[in-house]
Amino acid sequence: MAETLRYDNLMQYLLLKNGNLLFKVPFRGGWAVLKNYYGSRTALSSIKKTLCNLTYCNQTSFMPKGRLKTELECIRIWREAGFRVFDVYDDVTVEGLPEGGYALYEYVEAERFVVYFADASVPLEEKLAMWRRFLPVWHCRHALAIRSREPRLVHENGDMKHVMIMPDDQFLFFDFEMAFRSRDRIEEAVAHEILAYLRSLCKTVGKELWKTFLEETIRHYPDTKLLESAYVFQFKNPNPVFRVARLIDRNVRAGHKKFFSKYTVARRLHEMLQAAQ
């Protein structure tokens, strides 16, 4: 039988409000993270985002129950593939929350990449060593996603904010409520993730060090063709519709001309890959 949890004043445990509502709640002598997928978003905004995801973005539903279903599926698939993710306490129910709209997860106290790589007190060589240790793990998942044609092995919202450094030398990945859908576009999904991570890395380490970290990525990521795909799918997409859409996008939207825009980072990576040949 499922254990029933009751929290008379749940808001006192509020951890984060980001559309969802996340609570750090007492659980079995410790803590857990209770995630309410209904959160603060309106039904209309979820419907509009879902229509965009399904018709254009190659992504899963944005509806609360859809995001919960996707996250639990991704956690299971990543765990079975050998990657560290949050444990899920699926043998509990919580009074007062909508059925099928929440989940209870393991609470982990560990440093996130975004904090570690931005910390000026950490020596550069230690940061580079940490990044070198991460790269083969990262590539292993990309290769497995492509080999198995499994889009849910791609980190749709992957960046420096969603990786934790564990004390057992593992990396913990989280935030899987959205995923790519098409098995036929798996290479594009991987390219999207690579660019998102590298853009986040460059922004985190800053203007003085971004080049050093991209050079390190080129030297130690095991497949430079996959790195190059981050540029190809932004500038030379095989689909002519997407190619034209991105041409318009990068020339119309002012934000894409910023120093660490996705197009700028993709172009710099391409130029450095060409120079390294």
- State the total domains in the chain: 2
Q: Are residues 76 and 171 in the same domain?
A: no
The pTM is what? 0.94
Give the angle subtended at the CA of 85 by the CAs of 170 and 8, to the nearest 5°. 130
Torsion sign across C-alpha atoms 34, 161, 166, 136: positive
The answer to whether residues 263 and 251 touch, using CB atoms and an 8 Å cutoff, is no
Do residues 224 and 255 share a domain?
Answer: yes
Rounded Cα–Cα distance for residues 153 and 97 (Å): 29
**236 and 223 fall within a common domain:** yes
Residues 75 and 179 in one domain: no
Q: What is the pLDDT along the chain (277 residues), one digit of tens a residue?
A: 679 999 999 999 999 998 899 999 999 999 999 999 998 788 888 898 898 888 878 999 999 999 999 999 999 999 999 999 999 999 999 999 998 999 999 999 999 999 999 999 999 999 999 999 999 999 999 999 999 999 999 999 999 999 999 998 899 999 999 999 999 999 999 999 999 999 999 999 999 999 999 999 999 999 999 999 999 999 999 988 888 988 888 888 877 788 999 999 999 999 999 999 8
Give the domain-ending residue among 90, 106, 122: 106
Question: Quick one: 44 and 130 in the same domain?
Answer: no
Domain that holds residue 62: 3-106
Beta bridge partners of 14: 23
Check: CB of residue 131 under 8 Å from CB of residue 123.
no
Domain C-terminal end among 68, 86, 106: 106
Same structural domain for residues 133 and 200?
yes
* 32 and 124 both lie in a single domain: no
Residues 155 and 74 grouped into a single domain: no
Would you tell me how many other CB atoms lie within 10 Å of the CB of residue 220? Answer: 15
Query: 76 and 115 in one domain?
Result: no
* Cβ pair 37, 101 in contact under 8 A: yes
Check which CATH number belongs to the domain holding 83 and give it: 3.30.200
